[in-house]
Chain A
């Protein structure tokens, strides 16, 4: 991981009119922007956090071809550098409003700026799903976290729990085991969903424990998190477990608020597209995690971006 990272630098665009505007600078959006630039199109990418998207929240990526093991931050930086090299512009602004009718789409940002483009690529990704139990909101900044790489260091030599059983839960649990004195993974089933290789690694870690068939029903404490209440889904038995931190990895919700009334989405809010990644609104594409798809990985997001980035050139022929 580079000690000094420049991937968050914005190019401060003064120009407000583009051929293509990509909303979200994760692997999907960046790949779309690279293909659009290679087709000679004037391309702007909006990012409300740091360029790179959700992989910047991942400690290590081990399933993107060409890199047997690379930090999420490192891979993100390579994507961003690649896009920059081809002349993609970046703006660190949050898109607040969109109008997608007609040939010229309009975008308004939190800084009060207005932009236009002929084609929009929605690459807004997803956010961690909330657990939805009492105490989660109350302690949201007092021991409950959805980002181990951001907040892990506050739990040095303390005991923490991780809720979930997928790749993110187990991988971030492994990351936390190097900081916290003990990590307990609480999973509602009797086996993990995470990739086998990740599971095997986790089972070997001495300060990592697994609590199976169990859900968290409450997060409690005084000023900060002190305990979670657990319920075994098979026996119905309840218990209390002392902990200083609760890291939640129980799935994703799509960031489709901006467009959910403007394009077709499924019941959960994932954007529907055809095989070219185009939505039912002409000239509006969706790629990566925000799209209804069967797999949400860096490589599939990038593939989505490539398909969209090539297809959208038809609007400029």
Chain B
């Protein structure tokens, strides 16, 4: 099969990872070999394999969604293809990619790899970090995207940065086209569309950090 990453991009990533990666990053990939169940698992696998070749600090661990119930349960994997990341001590960094992180979302995946290798070091304002201390119960942020949406990666990145900085927050990318039933359930027709705690809150659009955090916190306060 032809390589998914261009030679140029591959070189760029090799350089970038050489400079930026500190400790090892383990990527857990959940898939199924049944094409009817997971049309995009093969291509996701290939992309991850090519990614792993760009740095020895990136390790991919592939798991069967149907055959490894215990792990699926442990990490609460809901659909496939699913990608999640662990830091060097095996801690779940609470980020999820459901569907191929293709198109513009690929950049987000790369930024996550770098952030995880630095132990979850992300750029957030002091104010946001203060507010995150108030989070005391689980918050699931599902960011519905399409690969061709240039506004979407920033919303995914924001949700996942919050996740890396709060043990209660999970930040997920959901590729809307790959999961039409879920998209329909939440009436997704414009992206990015952010669903908080299964519909307890929602908003549309890539908001600046303050406004994004405010939306998330309003659900916490039951507003």
Interface of A toward B, CB cutoff 8 Å: 1-10, 12, 48-50, 52, 56-57, 73, 81, 92-94, 96, 110-113, 140-145, 147, 149-151, 153-155, 223-224, 245
Contacts and interface: CB of A to CB of B under 8 A. Distances in A.
Contacts of B157: 92
A229 to B, nearest CB: 20
Given A94-B209, A111-B124, 10 more contacts: A48-B206, A49-B150, A49-B206, A50-B153, A112-B126, A112-B209, A141-B193, A153-B176, A223-B187, A245-B189
A83 to B, nearest CB: 14
Contacts of A52: 150
B189 A151 contact: yes
B69 interface: no
B107 A5 contact: yes
B104 A5 contact: yes
11 contacts: A4-B4, A6-B110, A8-B108, A8-B153, A12-B123, A50-B150, A57-B150, A92-B154, A111-B123, A149-B148, A150-B190
B127 A112 contact: yes
A224 B16 CA distance: 44
Nearest to B205: A141
Contact of B106 (A4, A56, A93): A4
Contacts of B189: 141-143, 145, 151, 154-155, 224, 245
Contacts of B106: 4-6
Contacts of A153: 146, 176-177
Interface stretch (B5-13, B25-33, B57-65, B81-89): B5-13
B151 A141 contact: no
A36 B137 CA distance: 49
Given A50-B104, A151-B191, A111 B209 contact: yes
A94 B6 contact: no
Contacts of B124: 111-112
Nearest to A92: B154
Contacts of A12: 114, 123
Contacts of B210: 110
Contacts of B190: 140-142, 144-145, 147, 150-151, 154
A118 to B, nearest CB: 24
B66 interface: no
B9 A4 contact: yes
A150 B104 CA distance: 11
B71 interface: no
A71 B191 CA distance: 20
Given A111-B209, A149-B149, A151-B146, A6 B12 contact: yes
A96 B130 CA distance: 20
A52 B191 CA distance: 18
Given A2-B6, A73-B148, A154-B176, A110 B104 contact: no
Contacts of B102: 3-4
A3 B103 contact: yes
Interface core residue of B4, B106, B110 (most chain A CB under 10 Å): B106
A233 B63 CA distance: 61
B111 A10 contact: yes
A48 B47 CA distance: 27
Interface core residue of A50, A144, A223 (most chain B CB under 10 Å): A50
The 8 A-B pairs of least Cβ separation, nearest first, read A112-B125, A8-B107, A50-B150, A110-B208, A150-B149, A141-B204, A56-B150, A4-B106
Nearest to B204: A141
Given A4-B5, A50-B150, A111-B125, A96 B208 contact: yes
Interface in B181-215: 183, 187-191, 193, 204, 206, 208-210
Contacts of B13: 6
A136 to B, nearest CB: 13
Contacts of A223: 187
Nearest to B124: A111
Contacts of A154: 176, 183, 188-190
Interface in B65-117: 102-104, 106-108, 110-111, 114
A165 B150 CA distance: 24
A241 B4 CA distance: 44
Contacts of A143: 189
Interface core residue of B127, B191, B204 (most chain A CB under 10 Å): B191
Contacts of A48: 154, 206, 208
A4 B106 CA distance: 6
